Amino acid sequence: MAGRALNDLQVKSVTHEFYMARALHLARQAYYTTRPNPRVGCVLVKDGQVIGEGAHQRAGEPHAEVHALRAAAGRAQGATAYVTLEPCSHFGRTPPCADALIQAGIAHLVVAMQDPNPLVAGQGLARIAAAGIQVTSGILEDEARELNQGFVHRMQTGQPWVIAKQAMSLDGRTAMASGESQWITGPEARSDVQRLRAESCAVITGVSSLLADQSRLTVREGPWLAQTGFMQPTRIILDSSLRTPTDAALFQDAAPVMLVACAQAAQRHPERVEALVGAGAEVVLQPRRCDERIDLHALLNQLGQRQMNQVMIEAGAALSGAFLQAGLIQQLYLYMAPQFLGDAARGLLSLPGVVQLQQAAQVRVQDVRAVGRDWRFTLLCEHQNR
């Protein structure tokens, strides 16, 4: 009935969501700097007033709970703590946050979601509950999961969350037959791609794209990035036969370079490996499927072991299509420019073997929006063949 007053349970729910939304906002302030750690925010509330708040900023630095407790300056006794992720219960680079909250004497812990890290996985909540502190979980959980989708995915699968970026014309073309593609999209769309690079731990491309585009694959700073303190992603080149030249543009800056090749090629051309290492690359060799294609599943497993939460594919039709057909892309950002390139231009993705509609790669539209003169489609990939 319109105008009916909220009951106590509804008031508590609204209150919890209000302060959790604030904690999520704090966590987003360090969106580009926390990797490989998750993005976490914390708000301490006592007698209806915020007495302390904070966010985790960088790996190795204090967690959000510690920042909030320090801001509270000894006033946390009897307070409610709102945290976007379950407080850690183990010693890593920093002491357990669960213990810090217990020692501070909070009366109530409200969390958005349980930590998927096997080292925590409910143990932090259990420890706090065992100390006699009330625990409420699941407040704005969907928002908290989206904030850390890469971290959650890596903890659950052992592999990073994979996004791919493609730019195309209205008729589905990515470049002219000559390879000319700069620029299909406008400056606003290109700036948006910089954001995707900045939030990714690595950018993956193939040697053919590298040779054609001479891209550095770094994040080029813009007004929106100036204050973020972002870290440059690792540039990963898939080059099974060691064709990457040592004078490639990406060797001209300090951002890390990983070159993935086949062991047999390295055995035949050890001088190329030595030259690439001298140019600044870390050369990683795959023992199987040599002289063919890089094992993409093995690559992602290795990147997961390196604690990469999210990686971005910026590659041509063949490599991007291979990732998609292998069921290894979770999210696709498709930028569509208002122009037609014609039948002779290059297509968007190479998907060999797809001859029937039932074989088509399935995606779900998550978001569509204008970015300058262009349109950006955010697509979630489904029916992955993991």
Does residue 294 surpass a pLDDT of 70? yes
Distance separating the N- and C-terminal Cα atoms of the chain:
49
Residue type, 370: A
Is pLDDT larger for residue 213 or for residue 110? 110
Is 274 part of the annotated catalytic residue set? no
Model pTM score: 0.89
> For 306-322, what is each residue's pLDDT tens digit?
999 999 999 988 899 89
Catalytic residue, candidates 17, 61, 65, 274: 65
**Residue pair 112/84 in contact by the 8 Å Cβ criterion:** yes
Among candidate residues 155, 145, 122, 120, the one with its CA nearest the CA of residue 36: 155
Reported as type and span, the H/E element at residue 317 is helix 317-325
Averaged pLDDT for residues 253-280: 93
Question: Can you say whether residue 206 is alpha, beta or left, with left for phi > 0 and alpha for psi between -120 and 50 degrees?
Answer: beta
Is pLDDT larger for residue 138 or for residue 231? 138
C-alpha separations of 24 from 120, 196, 221, 228 in Å:
20, 20, 25, 17
pLDDT confidence of residue 230: 82
